[in-house]
């Protein structure tokens, strides 16, 4: 009788094991086909009978991740980690579970919660001499960046971009270089920002954010050093930006760069765009007017500078330039009026000399 009972139990056990194997194989097959909802149901059925099935818990977490149910990932993955720690402590799935938890928090914008799981993943794979996914380093870096933990973000992005070795110029590396550049830019470390952002643009020439920030860093550095090479590079970056996005922001880069290079004919069009988009911005109209004046477009310069004076009645720069424009156009009475207004505001001997010169010229006219 005892032997018959044992035989019956063994048969039941084999039937259960066979059913569980069937559930497992079905679930894995559905997962591999991308039918994550159906796979999830299979694995949930499996853990109902075998709550200690680490692999089933792991796949439940993966299915929730694939279904973008990011708030449902951590519970099954944490259970999988606990079981794997006992059943297979060297399993790569432990690191994979930490990775999935961290990325899920990151994608849901829960940056504080993303940090530790991603660090666990990187540490486990590093210690086991397994390859560390660059996406994990980038997600960790961006989480730190969003949390304003810039020193830690810098280390993560440097590792992701291959700073420790020979970096491969890929789009993924370009993202890391962009964030490194953004960190250096925030610190006003333009030398390092420019170097990183150049790499970002090389890796992905169509990345507008990197080109924007590179141009701004070049311009800031150029203002401090008055280096024509930096202004020229800013103009080149601006031209590449214009091919991608011909808008007011790009015009700002080109207008400032060409104006500072004294290439006023090239500065006119972008400065015109800025001035006409900002009708109450006196400084925008001033730079536009000066660019017109210096490129020999005197009538248009008069109009732009008159607008400037309406907006900035006491702007000596605008008054002096407008006086020069009227004088060049031989409208001496208008020039005299403007120069006298400028001299009244400043008492500048150079402007007084201009007044005397224009009076002499006006007296010679019939």
Distance of alpha carbon 363 from alpha carbon 366, whole angstroms: 8
Closest CA to 213 of 229, 225, 195: 195
* 97 vs 230: CA distance, rounded Å: 47
Structure letter (DSSP) for residue 51:
T
Q: Sign (positive/negative) of CA torsion 66, 67, 68, 70?
A: negative
Q: Does domain 18-147 have CATH number 2.60.40.10?
A: no
* CB burial of residue 298 (10 Å; 0-12, 13-18, 19+): middle
* Residue 268 near residue 297, CB atoms below 8 Å: yes
pLDDT averaged over consecutive 10-residue blocks of the chain (366 residues)?
32 37 84 96 93 95 97 97 94 96 98 98 95 91 96 90 50 85 96 96 93 98 96 98 96 98 98 97 97 96 96 93 94 92 89 91 77
User: Topology of 161-261 in CATH?
Assistant: 1.25.40
Count of CB atoms situated within 10 Å of the CB of 74: 20
**CA 297 – CA 83 distance, rounded (Å):** 79
How high is the pLDDT of residue 365?
65
Place of tokens 């370009």: 174
d(CA 251, CA 245): 10
CA distance 104 to 54: 20
- What is the reported pLDDT for 364? 81
SS3 content of the chain, % helix, strand, coil (to 5): 80, 0, 20
CATH 1.25.40.10 is held by the domain 270-366: yes
Query: What are the distances in angstroms from CA 188 to CA 8, 99, 147, 182?
Result: 78, 34, 19, 10
- Dihedral, 245, 271, 181, 261 alpha carbons, nearest 10: 120
Main-chain dihedrals φ then ψ at residue 289, nearest 5 degrees? -65, -40
Residue with tokens 């020069």: 324
* b/e code 178-203 from CB counts within 10 Å (16+ = b): bbbbbbbbeeeebebbbebbbbbbeb
pLDDT of residue 20: 56
CB 239 within 8 A of CB 201: no
Rounded to whole angstroms, how far apart are CA atoms 288 and 357? 26
Cα of 187 vs its chain's centroid, Å? 16
pLDDT at 159: 84
- How far, in Å, CA of 135 to CA of 130, rounded? 15
Of 165, 171, 167, 105, the C-alpha closest to 136 is 105
| b/e per residue 226-238 (b: at least 16 CB within 10 A) | eeeebbbbbbebb
Question: Which two structure tokens, joined as six digits, stand for 259?
Answer: 């104006």
Structure tokens at 7: 């035989």
* Delimiting residues of CATH 1.25.40.10 domain(s) in the chain: 18-147, 161-261, 270-366
Does residue 63 contact residue 45 with C-beta atoms inside 8 Å? Answer: no
Both tokens assigned to 350: 């150079």
Q: Are 95 and 132 in contact (CB under 8 A)?
A: no
Q: Which of 148, 146, 142 is nearest to 160 (CA)?
A: 142
Q: What is the DSSP letter of 131?
A: P
The whole-angstrom separation of Cα 20 and Cα 41 is 13
The whole-angstrom distance between residue 61's C-alpha and the CA centroid of its chain comes to 31
Report d(CA 344, CA 323) in Å as an integer: 14
Structure tokens belonging to residue 155:
């280390």
């Amino acid at each position: 009788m005892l032997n018959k009972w044992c035989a019956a139990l063994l048969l039941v056990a084999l039937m259960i094991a066979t059913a569980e194997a069937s559930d497992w194989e079905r679930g894995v097959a559905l997962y591999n086909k991308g039918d994550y909802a159906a796979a999830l149901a299979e694995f949930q059925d499996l853990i109902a009978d075998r709550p200690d099935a680490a692999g089933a818990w792991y796949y439940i977490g993966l299915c929730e991740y694939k279904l973008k149910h990011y708030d449902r990932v951590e519970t099954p993955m944490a259970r999988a980690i606990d079981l794997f720690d006992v059943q297979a402590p060297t399993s790569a799935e432990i690191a994979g579970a930490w990775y999935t938890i961290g990325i899920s928090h990151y994608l849901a914008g829960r940056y504080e919660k993303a940090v530790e799981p991603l660090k666990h993943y990187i540490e486990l794979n590093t210690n086991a001499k397994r390859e560390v996914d660059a996406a994990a380093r980038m997600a960790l870096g961006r989480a730190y960046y969003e949390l304003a933990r810039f020193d830690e973000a810098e280390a993560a992005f440097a590792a992701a971009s291959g700073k420790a070795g020979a970096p491969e110029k890929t789009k993924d590396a370009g993202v890391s270089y962009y964030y490194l550049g953004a960190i250096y830019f925030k610190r006003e470390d333009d030398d390092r920002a420019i170097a990183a952002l150049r790499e970002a643009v090389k890796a992905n020439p169509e990345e507008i954010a990197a080109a924007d920030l590179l141009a701004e860093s070049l311009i800031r550095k150029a203002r401090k050093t008055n280096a024509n090479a930096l202004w020229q590079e800013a103009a080149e970056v601006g031209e590449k930006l214009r091919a991608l996005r011909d808008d007011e922001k790009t015009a700002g880069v080109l207008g400032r760069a060409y104006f500072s290079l004294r290439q006023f004919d090239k500065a006119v069009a972008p400065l015109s765009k800025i001035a006409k988009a900002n009708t109450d911005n006196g400084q925008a109209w001033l730079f536009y007017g000066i660019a017109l004046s210096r490129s020999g477009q005197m009538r248009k310069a008069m109009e732009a500078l008159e607008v400037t004076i309406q907006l900035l009645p006491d702007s000596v720069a605008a008054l002096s330039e407008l006086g020069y424009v009227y004088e060049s156009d031989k409208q001496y009475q208008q020039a005299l009026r403007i120069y006298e207004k400028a001299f009244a505001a400043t008492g500048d001997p150079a402007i007084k000399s201009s007044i005397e010169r224009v009076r002499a010229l006006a007296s010679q006219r019939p």
